[in-house]
Structure 1
Amino acid sequence: MSPTTTLVRNQWYVAAYSEEIGEELFARTVCNEPLVFFRAEDGAVVGLADRCIHRRYPLSKSQRVEGDRIVCGYHGFTYDRTGTCVAVPAQTRIPRSARVAAYPVVEQDSLVWVWIGDREPSAPESIPRAPWLIASGWTTTRGLETIQGRHALLMDNLMDLSHETYLHGGYIGTPEVADTPITTEIDEEAGVVRVSRRMDDAECPPFYANSTGITGRITRWQDIEFTPPCLYRLHSRVAPQGNYPPPDYVPGRDYSVDDGAFHTEIVYALTPETEHSVHDFWMVARDFAIEDQSITEYLHTNNRVVVMQDVEALNVVEAVIAEEERTSGTYQELSINIDTGALGARRLMANLLKTAELTEPSGGVEAR
């Protein structure tokens, strides 16, 4: 099963951070769909197709938002929050077909989710949560990079953290990450892949040594939960070597039972832009030194370096694979034990494809 370029539609995807969307028009492409967002007068986020029905002018290039309406900057076609055209120039009759697609939007945990597809959206309750991003007692730094590579490559990258040892040495990688075996659970009913790596006696990488103040070796746990196609959560626990959590400790749950450790929630949203590019939303939430801005800046700077190392590597891999597909029609790869998480994620993605309606998109469904 090779990394596919097929876009999985009829799914919720992260389109933006809440802080990115205000009264001004905001553009982003998701699964080949050009979208425009803005915040309506009641504070809700509105998502519409970013092309005027008249002459295809991008609505996001317009300068006028009148209340809850977008006025196209080319000829003045005016759309309400449902995508219905309510005014056209030089005539009172509005053509019945004058409308643009409206996309269901849910805002939670500081993330703006959009439903991409031509079916009715699944319930907002089905969207996976990342409560640490807004929880009291936590602070978060975040960023976004767009990788010129297919969604599956970023998914593979995040599911196999052994690459930290080689690609991210000097930041988050140490020899123990690659040397420690993993355990993998594929919960097909819940649609979640879980990968755990428990390091009992590990070197403390600079990312954690300089942010926590730990000196010496550490007990380091990495517990991944990935809900395809979009939300990835890495529950990271570091503590001085030999400091183990109590029996009732569950990664990602109530951290108050484990006050002898430092907890970091690394959250990624993997949102396809096109078949060969993916938006890499990255977030680092922590429950220690939450008022220390210098640590926030340190973690932001260093995590962005790590992300950019991934970006560079995945851009190269995409170019290599695309060339081999172009010249040979296929390519070869070899998987080993460390790839069980990635292979499980690929399997769940294949399941999503089977259940999705793989028809040409109708351009969204009517907003509710």
Structure 2
Amino acid sequence: MPHATAFARNQWYVAAHAHEVGREVLGRTVLGEPLVLYRAERDGRPVVLYDRCVHRRFPLSAAPSRLDGDRIVCGYHGFTYDTTGTCVQVPGRRRVPRTARVASYPVAERDSLVWVWIGDPARADPDTVPRARHLDSPGWVTVRGMEVIDADHGLLVDNLLDLSHETYLHGGYIGTPEVAGTPITTEVDEAAGVVRVSRHMDDAECPPFYAKSTGVRGRIDRWQDIEYHAPCLYLLHSRVAPTGVVPAPDGGDPRAFHTEITYAITPSDHGRVYDFWAVSRDWAREDAEITEFLRHNNHTVVLQDVDALNLLQRALGCERDGFQELSVGIDAGGLAARRILARLAEEGDSPRGNGS
């Protein structure tokens, strides 16, 4: 199957939206590793530990496991761990076995996302976490969510780097004929692990997603500029404006509507991927009705992708040996991303990220 690739372990991956991590234990699986997440009571920082007690492998994220201050208490036999994963209490014993500990993972909280490093802890540099500053910037309003897709993560990367599918899969929401009909430009920075795909549409139909939220009527100029920071972060810089409206020479663009669409693509395991999504806007920031409209409609679009990729994964699983894909020009970004992901998995190289 062309999309079932090995995981690049020495990388940062999003494990949760920041608001999901609190004083209740949260279970996630990243790159096949079961994790338990919570916030320390003392300083509020996120903690990520291996989600299996050393005693009988009971999940620390499952009830009745619980937090006791900064410690997590296994709900099966009461083994208790501190934020480093060290077991500090075993019921009925004065001394805790020296080997009683679970792995703790490097964590970085940036831009309202909680990132975790599954590989060699010595290589975990928080400065290499790719940034999406609009997610918690005061100049933007964001709606967000997460869906689990029963498909390999490469299928979601392909999906997001080729937006021509909007015309067909998302018609009535974000798709119009111009998306599939407009050529793309693709730039690849192999060393940084970044793929850029751009599609600028002039005199295009305004899709319902933008017509109903911005109030723009008639034809529009629509820009879609993608940055994919392998392996996890996808940024779509979207610009919508009435046809003929261009940015000012100084870079100002007050008559346009700017939307930042963010996806964090985190493999849970082979054949399963977390699709963390967010839509941020710099217009009508006080309008709660528009906020709810964008939340509902983008969630609908995401669920359309979920259904399509679940179906595609099942179809690929039924293919006979020797199946060959047919790729065309619109696949340039996805094919470049595949090459980078394969290299990261094989070599263990870490791209610089856009953290600076």
TM-score band, normalised by shorter chain: over 0.9
How far off its partner does 1:248 sit?
Answer: 5.4
Equivalences for residues 178-189 of structure 1 within 5 A: 178-189=180-191
In the other structure, the counterpart of 1:306 is 301
In 2, the alpha carbon distance for the partners of 1:137 and 1:215 equals 25
Q: Which amino acid aligns with 2:179?
A: V
Equivalences for residues 65-80 of structure 1 within 5 A: 65-80=67-82
How far off its partner does 1:191 sit?
Answer: 1.4
How far off its partner does 1:96 sit?
Answer: 1.1
In the other structure, the counterpart of 2:323 is 331
In 2, the alpha carbon distance for the partners of 1:346 and 1:294 equals 39
Segments of 4+ in structure 1 off by > 6 A? none
In the other structure, the counterpart of 2:344 is 352
Equivalences for residues 1-368 of structure 1 within 5 A: 2-41=2-41, 42-61=43-62, 62-247=64-249, 249=251, 257-324=252-319, 328-356=320-348
Partner secondary structure for residue 78 of structure 2: coil
Cα deviation digits, residues 25-64 of structure 1 (max 9, x gap): 1111111111001100210000000100000000112443
In 1, the alpha carbon distance for the partners of 2:228 and 2:250 equals 22
In 2, the alpha carbon distance for the partners of 1:352 and 1:122 equals 15
Cα deviation digits, residues 221-269 of structure 1 (max 9, x gap): 00000001100000000000011223554xxxxxxx2112000000000
The answer (yes or no) to whether the contact 1:147–1:315 under 8 Å persists in 2 is: yes
Give the number of aligned pairs: 347
How far off its partner does 1:330 sit?
Answer: 4.5
The answer (yes or no) to whether the contact 2:5–2:342 under 8 Å persists in 1 is: no
The answer (yes or no) to whether the contact 1:59–1:70 under 8 Å persists in 2 is: yes
The answer (yes or no) to whether the contact 2:6–2:342 under 8 Å persists in 1 is: no
The answer (yes or no) to whether the contact 1:19–1:110 under 8 Å persists in 2 is: yes
Cα deviation digits, residues 179-229 of structure 1 (max 9, x gap): 000000001122110000001110000000001000000000000000011
Q: Which amino acid aligns with 1:161?
A: L
Q: Which ranges of structure 1 fall in alignment gaps of 5 or more residues? A: 250-256, 358-368
Cα deviation digits, residues 63-83 of structure 1 (max 9, x gap): 431111111111111100000
Partner secondary structure for residue 283 of structure 1: strand
Q: Which amino acid aligns with 1:163?
A: H
Q: Which amino acid aligns with 2:49?
A: L
In 2, the alpha carbon distance for the partners of 1:258 and 1:354 equals 43
In the other structure, the counterpart of 1:364 is none
How far off its partner does 1:119 sit?
Answer: 4.7
In 2, the alpha carbon distance for the partners of 1:33 and 1:102 equals 12
In 1, the alpha carbon distance for the partners of 2:224 and 2:198 equals 6
Partner secondary structure for residue 60 of structure 1: coil
In 2, the alpha carbon distance for the partners of 1:119 and 1:105 equals 10
Q: Which amino acid aligns with 2:264?
A: A
